[in-house]
Amino acid sequence: MSWSYLGKNNGDFVANDCPQVFLTIASVPSVYQATGVDASIISTYIGSLRSQTHAGGQVNFYCNAYDNPEIFFNAPPCNGVIRVQIFRDNFTTPFTTLAASNIADYVIVLSFHSLE
């Protein structure tokens, strides 16, 4: 799976904001997150977002299909709830702007393709 993202303007952006995106769907992805022990764990982390600044201080977050590594699944997802979570760069604090508002409205596009 590859993915892209485009969000609406966040007016109270700071330069070091780097939202981290996690995705939970019906199928378990084969994405591994390193840990402090001799093994890795399966994670729902799919990548991070970049910021884009426009005239007048308008900023939005985005990524294209090639900004983050592809995600592989043991079985294709069929149906079920899709849960998107966006965290700060510490991977645990939900992302909010300086004014403590949630991230602006966004569109995330998931692209599935078979390796067969």
Q: What does the DSSP assignment read for the chain?
A: -EEEEEE---TT--TT---EEEEE-SSPB--EEE-SSSSEEE--EEEE-EEEE-GGG-EEEEE-TTSS----BSS---SS--EEEEE-TTSSSBPB-TTSPBPPPEEEEEE-----
The answer to whether residue 21 scores a pLDDT higher than 80 is yes
The answer to whether residue 115 scores a pLDDT higher than 80 is no
The per-residue pLDDT for 63 is: 93
Backbone angles phi, psi at 23, to 5 degrees: -130, 130
- What count of other Cβ atoms lies within 10 Å of the Cβ of residue 34? 9
Query: Which residue would you say has higher pLDDT here, 103 or 13?
Result: 103
The model carries a pTM of: 0.77
58-73 burial, b for 16+ CB within 10 Å, e for fewer?
ebbbebeeeebeebee
How high does pLDDT run on average in the chain? 76
